[in-house]
Structure formats: C-alpha cells, structure tokens
C-alpha cells in the first residue's frame, strides 16, 4: 500500500454524516461516514498537482480507502461519476470492491460508459 497518509475530520455535515479528508502527499479523497449505519460516502478523489497526475497516486490512496472500509466492516455508496470518473474511477471502485469484499450500495454496474 502507500507509505503514508493522514485522515482529517472536517466535521458533521448532516444527519449523522461526518466528512473526512484522507490525504497522501500527492492525492486526496474526500468522503463521508455515518457511524450509526457504517456507511461510507465517496465524494471526491483527486491528484491536484498536474505533474503528479497519471502516476497512480490516487489509485494507491483509493485502494487504501477500500482496505480501511473492509477493516471497519463498512459499505460504500460511491455516488455519481463525472465523465472522467466513469472512465477511470468507476472501474477501480468495482475492482477494489471485489478485492476487499466491500459491498456497494445505491449503485448499479453499467456497461454503457455514456450513462
């Protein structure tokens, strides 16, 4: 996995959902967590510095995110995807969901990338 990351609590955002940032030196994931139901909500994943993009940093962080969800016994609501998210992030979510046995909720696997 990745050598170092930190998780920062951003605060309560609504009805028992807490928002967090999971950050490495190159990428970050913004997500929500509802402790009562043990549901994680994926809001955003990015590598902000252009020179760091397309080097796998966000992928490593996303895999660590799935590992943590699995260790907590949680489920993931990945939300909707942008066009680039459909092409790059969605396949990773499906792969890591299977690899770490993390159930996806409010989600359907679509073959058509234009939906």
pTM: 0.85
CATH numbers and ranges of domains, the chain: 6-99 (3.40.630.30)
Beta-bridge partners for 6: 23
Tell me the per-residue pLDDT of 1-39, one tens digit each, with 9 for 90 and over: 555 888 888 989 888 899 999 999 899 999 999 999 999
Q: What six digits make up the tokens of 109?
A: 């696997």
- pLDDT above 50 (res 112): no
Nearest Cα to Cα of residue 78 among 115, 108, 101, 56: 108
Whole-number Cα distances in Å, 56 to 61, 72, 92, 109: 9, 25, 11, 23
Q: What six digits make up the tokens of 67?
A: 């590992």
Tell me the per-residue pLDDT of 60-108, one tens digit each, with 9 for 90 and over: 999 999 999 999 999 999 988 877 778 888 899 999 999 999 999 986 5
- CA–CA distance, 9 with 20 (Å, rounded to integer): 5
Tell me the per-residue pLDDT of 33-69, one tens digit each, with 9 for 90 and over: 999 999 999 999 999 889 988 898 999 999 999 999 9
């Amino acid at each position: 996995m990745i050598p170092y990351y930190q998780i920062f609590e951003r605060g309560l955002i609504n009805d028992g959902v807490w928002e967090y940032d999971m950050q490495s030196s190159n990428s970050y994931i913004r997500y929500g967590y509802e402790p009562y139901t043990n549901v994680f909500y994926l809001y955003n994943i990015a590598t902000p510095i252009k020179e760091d993009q397309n080097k796998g940093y966000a992928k490593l962080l996303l895999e660590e995110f799935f590992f943590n969800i699995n260790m907590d016994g949680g489920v993931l609501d990945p939300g909707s995807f942008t066009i680039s998210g459909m092409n790059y992030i969605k396949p990773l979510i499906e792969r890591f969901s299977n690899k770490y046995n993390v159930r996806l909720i409010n989600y359907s696997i679509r073959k058509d990338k234009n939906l």
